[in-house]
C-alpha cells in the first residue's frame, strides 16, 4: 500500500507480488480511510479487480509492463469508459463516459489499475477543492484543512496511500498547488506534451494533464508513459519524448537556477520567507549556481489569466445546455429550459467565470479585454525566453501559503491570489512542478503543514526538470519527515 509506483511495478513484473494483491491492499485502505477523507467521488472496486486480473495474466504471458499493478486515482474530468465522469458538478452527476481519455488509456495499457475517480473543484475551477458540488475532500495532513485544487481528490488519495499515482489536470496551478498542500510531487508538462483527448475542457489553450506522486521518480515514470503525440488531439505536439525516468540525477553541478526578482517571498511572512531561502540555499549546496532573473510582466499574470481562462470556459461550457447530455431541467419553452438547466447545474464559481468570460468576449469589449490579454500572454513567453538565456531552471514558491482551513478564503480575489506563482508558467506553456520543501506552522494550528518548491524549465525541458527535482528531493527528504494523519 505504501510502496512507490516504481517498487510496485518491479515486484509485480518479477512475480514477487501480484497486481491483485496490491489492488486488494489499496482498496482496503480506501474503505478504511475515504469515508472521512473524501478523495473519491466514485470507487471502482470491481473494475480495479478486473483490471488487476488482466495485468497478472499479461505478466504470466511474459510481458513487462512499466506500471504493472500500480493503483491510479483518475481525476473526475478525465473519461474512463463505463464509469461516471462528473467534473465535480451537478451538471454531469449521472453521466457515464462512453470512451477513455488517451492519457488514462496509456497508463492502463502500461499496467496501471484504476481504483477510483477523484474529487475536484467543479469543472477544475478553484484552488482548494471546496467548489465541488458532489463532496468535500480533506487534506490528509490536517483533516480541517483543504487539499488544494482543483486536483484535490487526486492529491489527497496519493498522500493517504489510496493510490500510488494520481492523474491531475493543470490550467493555472491545479496540479502544483495541491501537490504543495499534500506533500507530493505534482508535475505539469509542457502544453501539448500530453494528449488532452478525453479531458473535459475548462480552458483549452491552458489545460494540461500530469501526474501527482509521492516521489519524483514515480512522477517521471508516469510521465514517460503518458507523454507523446496523439492524432486524436490537434494540440498534441509531434516531437520525440526524451525519457525522464532513466535520466534522473543526484546533484545539480553545472545547473544555473534563476531566482525571479518579482517573486519575492518577504511578503509571505518570516517563516515562509525563511523556508524558501533555505530551499534556494539547498539548491546551491547541490552544486547549482543561483542567478537573478526578471519577469517584468509577472504582476499581470492574474489579470491576464482571469480573462483568457474564463473566456475559453464560457465557450467550452456552452455545450452543457440540457439538450445532448448531462442535466436537463424542463421549462415551458427552450429558453427557460436552458436557463433552469444551467442555473441548477452550475455552481457559483463556474457561473462567475462564465459571466466574466462572456463579458470579455462581448461586442465592444473583445478588443479591450480578451485581445489585450492575449497580447500580454505573448509578452509572458518573451519574458521567460529572455530569462532562460541566463539560467537553465527557475525556482519559486509553488503557493503563497500552506493549506488553509475550510472557508478561510471567502472572497474570490483572495482565492485567485493563491495562483500568483503558478499562473505565469501556465500562460507561457512551460513545464513546471512542485516538490516538497519543508513545513510551516499555520496560524491557529498545532500541526506543521507542508509546502512546495516550484521549479520550471524551458519548453520541452521535462527530463532536465525532473532530473533536478530528483536531486533536490533525494538530498532533502522533506516528504518523509511527517506522516499524514488522515492516512492512519
Q: Which residues are catalytic?
A: 75, 150, 174
Give the HSE-up count for residue 226: Cα atoms under 13 Å, Cβ half-sphere.
32
Contact 77, 104 (CB under 8 A): no
Contact partners, residue 338, CB within 8 Å, separation at least 6: 321, 322, 331
Q: Are strands 289-293 and 393-397 parallel, antiparallel or unpaired?
A: unpaired
Closest CA to 193 of 469, 398, 429, 465: 429
- Paired strand residues for 455: 395, 433
In what order do the strands lie in the sheet containing 432-440?
A: 40-43, 113-118, 71-75, 165-170, 208-213, 185-188, 432-440, 449-456, 393-397, 256-260, 289-293
Enumerate residues 6+ apart whose C-beta is below 8 A from 394: 257, 258, 259, 260, 293, 384, 387, 388, 455, 456, 457
Annotate 60-69 with b (16+ C-beta within 10 A) or e (fewer): eeeeebbbbb
d(CA 8, CA 15): 11
Angle between helices 301-316 and 372-387 (to 10 degrees): 130
Amino acid at each position: 500500500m505504501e510502496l512507490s509506483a516504481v517498487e510496485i511495478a518491479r515486484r509485480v513484473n518479477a512475480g514477487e507480488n501480484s497486481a491483485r494483491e496490491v489492488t486488494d491492499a489499496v482498496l482496503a485502505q480506501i474503505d478504511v480511510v475515504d469515508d472521512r477523507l473524501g478523495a473519491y467521488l466514485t470507487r471502482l472496486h470491481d473494475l480495479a479487480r478486473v483490471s488487476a486480473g488482466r495485468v497478472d495474466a499479461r505478466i504470466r504471458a511474459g510481458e513487462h509492463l512499466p506500471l504493472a499493478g500500480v493503483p491510479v486515482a483518475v481525476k473526475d474530468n478525465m473519461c474512463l469508459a463505463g464509469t461516471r465522469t462528473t467534473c465535480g458538478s451537478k451538471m454531469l452527476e449521472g453521466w457515464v463516459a462512453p470512451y477513455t481519455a488517451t492519457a488514462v488509456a496509456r497508463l492502463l495499457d502500461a499496467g496501471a489499475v484504476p481504483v477510483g475517480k477523484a474529487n475536484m473543484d467543479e469543472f477544475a475551477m478553484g484552488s482548494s477543492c471546496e467548489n465541488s458540488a458532489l463532496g468535500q475532500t480533506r487534506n490528509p495532513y490536517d483533516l480541517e484543512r483543504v487539499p488544494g485544487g482543483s486536483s484535490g481528490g487526486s492529491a489527497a488519495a496519493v498522500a493517504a496511500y489510496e493510490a500510488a499515482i494520481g492523474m491531475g489536470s493543470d490550467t493555472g496551478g491545479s496540479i502544483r498547488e495541491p501537490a504543495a498542500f499534500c506533500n507530493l510531487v505534482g508535475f505539469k508538462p509542457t502544453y501539448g506534451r500530453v494528449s488532452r483527448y478525453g479531458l473535459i475542457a475548462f480552458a483549452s489553450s491552458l489545460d494540461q494533464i500530469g501526474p501527482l506522486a509521492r516521489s519524483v521518480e514515480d512522477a517521471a515514470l508516469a510521465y514517460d508513459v503518458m507523454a507523446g503525440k496523439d492524432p486524436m488531439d490537434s494540440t498534441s505536439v509531434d516531437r520525440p519524448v526524451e525519457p525522464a525516468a532513466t535520466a534522473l540525477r543526484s546533484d545539480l553541478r553545472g545547473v544555473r537556477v534563476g531566482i525571479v526578482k518579482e517573486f519575492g517571498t518577504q511578503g509571505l511572512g518570516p517563516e515562509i520567507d525563511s523556508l524558501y531561502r533555505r530551499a534556494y540555499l539547498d539548491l546551491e549546496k547541490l552544486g547549482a549556481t543561483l542567478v537573478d532573473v526578471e519577469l517584468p510582466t509577472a504582476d499581470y499574470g492574474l489579470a491576464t489569466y482571469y480573462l483568457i481562462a474564463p473566456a475559453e470556459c464560457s465557450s467550452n461550457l456552452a455545450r452543457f445546455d440540457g439538450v445532448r447530455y448531462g442535466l436537463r431541467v424542463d421549462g415551458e419553452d427552450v429558453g427557460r429550459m436552458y436557463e433552469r438547466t444551467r442555473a441548477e447545474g452550475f455552481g457559483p464559481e463556474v457561473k462567475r467565470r462564465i459571466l466574466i468570460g462572456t463579458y470579455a468576449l462581448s461586442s465592444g469589449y473583445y478588443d479591450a479585454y480578451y485581445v489585450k490579454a492575449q497580447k500580454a500572454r505573448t509578452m509572458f513567453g518573451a519574458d521567460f525566453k529572455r530569462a532562460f538565456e541566463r539560467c537553465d531552471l527557475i525556482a519559486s514558491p509553488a503557493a503563497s501559503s500552506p493549506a488553509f482551513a475550510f472557508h478561510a478564503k471567502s472572497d474570490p480575489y483572495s482565492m485567485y491570489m493563491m495562483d500568483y506563482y503558478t499562473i505565469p508558467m501556465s500562460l507561457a506553456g512551460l513545464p513546471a512542478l512542485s516538490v516538497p520543501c519543508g513545513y510551516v506552522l499555520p496560524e491557529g494550528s498545532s500541526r506543521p503543514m507542508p509546502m512546495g518548491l516550484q521549479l520550471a524549465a524551458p519548453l520541452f525541458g521535462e527530463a532536465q526538470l525532473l532530473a533536478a527535482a530528483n536531486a533536490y528531493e533525494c538530498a532533502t527528504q522533506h516528504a518523509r519527515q511527517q506522516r499524514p494523519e488522515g492516512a492512519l
